[in-house]
Amino acid sequence: MDTDALRELTFTDSKDQLRFITCGSVDDGKSTLIGRFLHDSKAIYEDQLQALARDSVKHGTTGDDIDFALLVDGLEAEREQGITIDVAYRFFTTPRRSFMVADTPGHEQYTRNMATGASNAQLAVILIDARKGVLVQTKRHSYICSLLGIRHVVVALNKMDLVDYRKEVFDRIVDDYVDFASNLGFTSIAAIPISARYGDNIIRLSRNTDWFHGPCLLDYLESIDIQSETAGLPFRFPVQWVNRPNLDFRGYAGTVVSGSIAVGDEIVIPASGRNSRVKQIVTYDGDLVRAEAGDAVTITLTDEIDIGRGDIIAKPTERPEVADQFAAHLIWMDQEPMVPGRSYAFRIGTQSIASGSITAMKYRIDVNTGAHVAARTLSLNEIGFCNIATVLPAAFDAYEANRRTGSFIVIDRDTNRTVGAGMIAFPLRRAANIAWQPLSLGKKERAALKHQRPCIIWFTGFSGAGKSTIANLVDQKLFAMSYHTMLLDGDNLRHGLNRDLGFTESDRVENIRRAGEVAKLMVDSGLLVICSFISPYKAERDMVRDLVDDGEFIEVFVDTPIGECVRRDPKGLYAKAKSGTIKNFTGIDAPYEAPSAPEIHLTTLNQQPERLADTVLNCLATRGIIVPANRTEN
Amino acid sequence: MSYGKLDYRNGDLPRGEPQMFRMNAQNITKPQTRTLPRHLRRLEAESIEIMREVVAEFSKPVMLYSIGKDSSVMLHLAQKAFYPAKVPFPLLHVDTTWKFREMISFRDETAQRLGINLIVHVNQDGIERGINPIDSGSTLHTQVMKTDALKQALDLYGFDAAFGGARRDEEKSRAKERIFSFRSQGHVWDPRNQRPELWNLFNTRSRKGETMRVFAISNWTELDVWEYIMLENIPVVPLYFAKQRWVVHRNGTLIMVDDERLPLAPDETPELKMMRFRTLGCYPLSGAIESDAANIKDIVAEMQVATLSERQGRLIDTDEVASMEKKKREGYF
Ligand SMILES: Nc1nc2c(ncn2[C@@H]2O[C@H](COP(=O)(O)OP(=O)(O)OP(=O)(O)O)[C@@H](O)[C@H]2O)c(=O)[nH]1
Ligand SMILES: [Mg+2]
């Protein structure tokens, strides 16, 4: 093994790979810069260069010259529009270091893609157009970089060719930037005057800026010492998967995200408080004595304790937080605004949490000034600070302390879109202070006394669909059969418990949350609880479903077409909604999300309410909730 | 903030806190069993993590096995990820019936050697229609025998996640793709509407009929792959190594005469040439390169001075502008 090639093979080991992003405002030259890097570091092959020349003629923005941005803007839509839409991940290697660079889009509309690129970067090259100076997007991107934990920044003052390479321009803008960025917590800021298009100060110093003494951008990136983020941190091992090939082996597979662990070390599962010791650290290449940050291993323990995917293995002396409420920064990434109180799915480390919600919006952050602005919600690309509650406690660290165990994503439970990304600031202790009071009598005992199976029978549908009428009949019939029931009607609750709520999306969410909690208490007391609420959003109906045990939530979709409801208009509300006297009326100027798989689907056109109520009773009987014949045992 | 301390205009490097080196017994006793360079260890761990995520979160994953070098690396990584358990998913090879014979024998040997369940799927409908790369043209052949065949197989077996060995350095639309690439009904990729993918928090949720393509070696480069194959001694198809083989010159590249199905033009006479392949696919569509690189060391050396990209030999990519993106939107892997 003595060829040149092999000696070359070891060069990349002298320094670890540097992962960085380019960001900044629209058209500041981010993609051109990366294209230039790839080209000048010979990462581009001849056939690709020929393709680039052809592309430049067709899509280029640079006249007769080669448009380096086209090396990176790889989607058809991007080439046609001459902008970047999504992140491109590119790789290049120099004799001193290897690089993975994420080229991010400057357009505000695609900020979530910029955040995607920034989340795994150690350094950001922030481009600024020398003609334009620091813009809103420059600030937004800097802010997001800071929030996501990037500590090293290079300000690349681009398009110096268009300002005659003047030092004053450079000085003025760099001063502006440093002024703005001084409270963003960056450890290093370097500023370099460049021209991405003509290659000044990129891989070598340029004569055009004789007042600048370097280093050039590449030198800087090759030599900057980014200390390992994870080495000195407490040991964290989120369990990904339990490996059970046979009865004699039970291993916990995962990646050490920070710190290190050795065979014989004592460990704890923070969520359960159970302790054990490391027996083996298994890998395909042989057992290890010690595993360190970045190692993907399988750990076995000396004791059989209950551990599953989502648990974090830690050391007893350095535990993560465990809480079901925490405060966090949240970047909203969906077209649909965030709705406080709505049930979303969460992913924190390897823990999937089926339901949680934003319980309080503290403030929104104005990225331009850093000011805290009062807000009740977050729209696409907005950043805020809020309290979050999850149905199950999660183990985590503050994001500032550990990027890997302090981050989470928010997922829409219906569409499964990733709608938000968050960084945990601190746990809220309330969960720990309000302990559950153990009760001697439970749902089972209370229901047994009444000889019935408690449940929620939830009627949903448009106003005027017939929910209350049918619900009332069902209630009467069950009562006549000697079942203990209770009926909760949306209109009635709004006279009391929910008197303070209006009809905005977030008030509707809160309306259903309260009704759901009340219904759950009644289920606990052993009742058959009949609920009649428009409940237009699937997420909230599912939230109530999750409050009770499997099989205890019977969703009844009262399916009356909106046209028919408008025609009936029993309370004259549709007329008012149409004239604009009332706002946010479901079916008129507010949406209704029909259930996709209700337990009972009632099509009401040309049907008598009596018959429909009987249909409901039949279904309840089929599900074993009621006994079809009159009950005689009472 | 330390920017005040450095003269950024003169480009001084920022000085961090003085670095602390702690030596303790444990550092010294760490066994030095692995010889991989640091960046390969990192890539390896990253890929293993991705594979474990899939097995933990999906009910019926499969690995698309194309028999090439990238598939060989993926398979090797899968063995590592689940050790001491066996690889907990089957391999799926979408066979166009036009692969090199050496690929097919390598495939069968590999499955047998590792004791892995191998599913081979051929689009029978395409065979009946007489689709082939020579008469039908590469575009139609690829569409029917690869893209449609893949979709058929995924639907037939109900796989909800499929590992693919594509890398971001291969092609510019690949460079834009997520590691967990969501496909809606009909296996469609919507490049304008990809899920944000932050940190290592992959959104694995999907509804019935929706699936995930998972690119576990997204961040590897061609050079990384070869270095890894060399250092880990991973078996690969011998066609990657230079040897005298029968070829004809066609469309500016060398096409190997792998069997009698390749029609020869009157002026084409097969000749013996020292050659090898950088990528493998259907033999009439895979261009070879003239080369003397008969072992991996030589391949790595050759690659460092190569002036053409690995995809250059693939006839299917240059069919039309932005063809890779288009194919992927239609469900290509
Ligand atoms: N004169 C001059 N033009 C430049 C320079 N750098 C980039 N440009 C031009 O600026 C335009 C925008 O460049 P891009 O690289 O696409 O900008 P971007 O920042 O990637 O844009 P988005 O990703 O869409 O935000 C192109 O026409 C480039 O050729 C430079 O240094 N000098
Ligand atoms: Mg761009």
ipTM of the complex: 0.85
- pLDDT tens string A400-432: 999 999 999 999 998 999 999 999 999 986 544
Q: Could you report the per-residue pLDDT of A284-302, keeping only the tens digit for each?
A: 999 999 999 999 999 999 9
Residue A106 Cα to ligand 2 midpoint, Å, equals 7
Q: Which atom in ligand 1 lies closest to the alpha carbon of residue A196?
A: 31
pLDDT of residue A2: 35
Mutate to test the pocket of ligand 1, among A197, A202, A217 (most ligand atoms within 8 A of CB): A197
Answer yes or no: is pLDDT of B23 > 50.
no
Tell me which residue in A86, A290, A421 faces B191 most closely, judged by beta carbons. A86
pLDDT tens profile B62-71: 999 999 999 9
Taking alpha carbons only, the member of B73, B66, B109, B69 closest to residue B232 is B73
Smallest Cα–Cα separation from A490: which of A561, A571, A552? A571
For residue A557, the SS3 value is strand
Strands (E), A397-448: 407-411, 418-427
| Cα separation, A104 vs A116, whole angstroms | 9
pLDDT at A205: 95
In this structure, how many other beta carbons lie within 10 angstroms of the beta carbon of residue B264? 12
Chain segment B289-329, per-residue pLDDT in tens:
899 999 999 998 888 787 777 766 655 545 444 577 877 78
Q: In the 3-class helix/strand/coil scheme, how is chain B assigned residue by residue?
A: CCHHHCCHHHCCCCCCCCCCCCCCHHHHHCCCCCCCCHHHHHHHHHHHHHHHHHHHHCCCEEEECCCCHHHHHHHHHHHHHHCCCCCCCCEEEECCCCECHHHHHHHHHHHHHHCCCEEEECCHHHHHCCCCCCCCCHHHHHHHHHHHHHHHHHHHHCCCEEEECCCCCCCCCHHHCCCEEEEEHHHECCHHHCCCCCCCCCCCCCCCCCEEEEECCCCCCHHHHHHHHHHHCCCCCHHHCCEEEEEEEECCEEEECCCCCCCCCCCCCCEEEEEECCCCCEHHHEEEEECCCCCHHHHHHHHHCCCCCHHHHECCCCCCCCHHHHHHHCCCC
pLDDT in tens, A93-132: 888 888 999 999 999 999 999 999 999 999 999 999 999 9
Helix B69-82 with B222-232: angle, nearest 10 deg: 60
**Which ligand has its closest atom nearest to the C-alpha of A67?**
1
d(CA A577, CA A508): 17
**Exposure string (b/e) for A141-156, b if CB count within 10 Å is 16 or more?**
bbbbbbbbbbbbbbbb
CB A196 within 8 A of CB A29: yes
Record: contact A189-B14, CB cut-off 8 A: yes
Check residue A281 and give its pLDDT.
97
Determine, for residues A284 and B200 on separate chains, whether the beta-carbon distance falls below 8 Å.
no
Length of chain B: 333
At A567-594, the pLDDT tens digits run 998 888 999 888 888 888 898 888 899 9
Q: In ligand 1, which atom is closest to the CA atom of A25?
A: 25
Which chain A positions have a beta carbon within 8 Å of B44's beta carbon? 296
Interface contact A74-B171, CB threshold 8 A: yes
Residues from chain B contacting residue A243 (CB–CB below 8 Å): 82, 84-85
Tell me the chain A residues in contact with residue B83 when contact means C-beta distances shorter than 8 Å.
Answer: 282-284, 298
Amino acid of residue A509 = V
Cβ–Cβ below 8 Å for B203 and A409 = yes
Strands (DSSP E) contained in A56-164 are 88-93, 98-103, 123-129, 152-158
> 3-state DSSP call for residue A164?
coil
Checking if the pLDDT of B99 tops 90, the result is yes
Strand partners, B62: B162
Residue B129 C-alpha, separation from nearest chain A C-alpha, in angstroms: 32
Give the start-end residues of each E strand in A283-431: 290-292, 296-301, 312-313, 321-332, 344-348, 351-365, 372-373, 383-396, 407-411, 418-427
CA separation for the pair A138, A12 (Å, rounded): 32
Region B145-165: what's the mean pLDDT? 94
Residue A227 pLDDT exceeds 80? no
Mean pLDDT of B225-235: 94
Return residues 112-131 of A near B (CB < 8 Å): 112-113, 115-116, 119-120
| pLDDT at residue A12 is higher than 60 | no
Question: Residues A83-87: what's their mean pLDDT?
Answer: 92
Shortest distance between the Cα of B128 and any Cα of chain A, in A, equals: 35
Look at A346-350, A557-561, B167-171, B324-328 and tell me which has the smallest mean pLDDT. Answer: B324-328
If you average pLDDT over every residue of chain A, what do you get? 90
**Of all atoms in ligand 1, which is nearest to the CA of residue A160?**
31
Given an 8 Å threshold on Cβ–Cβ distance, is A298 in contact with B176? no
Expressed in angstroms, the distance from the first to the final Cα of chain A is 89
